[in-house]
Chain A
Amino acid sequence: MSSEAIVTLLVAIFGGGTAAAIIQGVVSHKKGVRDSDVAEDQNALQGYKDLAAEYKTDLADLKREMRETQKANTERFTRIEAELSQERSTRWAAVQYARDLVSLISRLLPGASIPAPPESLVDHIIIPSREDHP
């Protein structure tokens, strides 16, 4: 390979490299990279630290919000459980009272027609039929 050919090749390589560098500069400029931006963000680590601090603050806010929601939910569930327990006791007391009444009526008024209990209480309150009486 002659000297001319080698130097021509070098000119082509570095000419192409220069064109690539110019294109890179134009692309960066179009993307919004400015010399002043680069100067401001020269300490890249500081930029990432700022970003991390921002995310950390956001995360702390989210955690606090989540804890408050969780606390409110826990209080709500406790209240609902207490109410449910109260309702259950009341229901069983009512069933027991109805049974006592049915028993009392059967004893005092044998053969009396006792109204059938509502659908939801059929399994819990048994009404004696006329045949059950002597």
Chain B
Amino acid sequence: MLSSPYPVPRLRTWRAAMIIGWTAGIAAGVWVLTDPPLSYDSIGLALTIVWGAMLAVGSGLAAIGHLTQRYKLELPGLVLALGGVVIYDYLSWQQTLTTSPGSGPRALLLIVLACTLIARIRVLIYMDRQARQRVEMRDSAV
């Protein structure tokens, strides 16, 4: 069984897809850091750097979490990456509703991604609490 508490069987495809996906997340963060998108200059350089760092570091932690099968690394990474995705979604909506209505699908797809991350975060928190309860029950039985 996986060390990560995600209730899935040992599937190479799952692991590979997650690692590739989060590597793309790291690349997105690095991209924001090295070449900040000009269309989002309303937030200033400092916040752009923070946004890029959230995406890069969060995705990195999530990727390492999947690689080493450690949910305690994956969970903070997911929250951090979710922050980066939400900021990106906010900026996309701002652009969609003002200068570029064609960016709507991207803004909506970012909601899909954010919801998927929230669901995964919720599952990990649930499994962590279950594991804590089991440890407490085991300790009280001893």
Residues of A at the B interface (CB closer than 8 Å) are 2-4, 6-8, 10-11, 13-15, 17-18, 20-22, 24-25, 28-29, 31-33, 35-44, 47, 51
Q: Is A38 within 8 A of B79, CB to CB?
A: no
With A3-B42, A10-B90 as given contacts, are A38 and B47 in contact (CB-CB < 8 Å)?
A: no
Q: Is A4 within 8 A of B44, CB to CB?
A: yes
Residues of A within 8 A of B141 (CB): 51
Residues of A within 8 A of B26 (CB): none
Bound-complex Cα distance A25 to B1 (A): 21
Bound-complex Cα distance A70 to B141 (A): 29
Residues of A contacting B: mostly: helix
Q: How many A-B residue pairs have CB under 8 A?
A: 112
Residues of B within 8 A of A29 (CB): 72
Q: Is B70 within 8 A of A14, CB to CB?
A: no
Residues of B contacting A: mostly: helix
Residues of B at the A interface (CB closer than 8 Å) are 1-5, 7, 42-44, 47, 50-51, 54, 58, 69-73, 75-76, 78-80, 82-84, 86-87, 90-91, 94, 121, 125, 127-128, 130-132, 134-137, 139, 141
Kindly list 20 other residue pairs between chains A and B, CB separation below 8 angstroms, not including A7-B87, A21-B75, A38-B71.
A3-B91, A7-B43, A7-B91, A10-B90, A14-B83, A14-B86, A18-B79, A18-B83, A21-B78, A25-B73, A25-B76, A31-B135, A33-B128, A35-B3, A35-B71, A37-B135, A38-B3, A38-B4, A39-B3, A42-B1
Bound-complex Cα distance A46 to B44 (A): 53
Question: Considering residues B7, B80, B83, which has the most beta carbons from chain A within 10 angstroms of its beta carbon?
Answer: B83
With A14-B83, A24-B75 as given contacts, are A38 and B131 in contact (CB-CB < 8 Å)?
A: yes
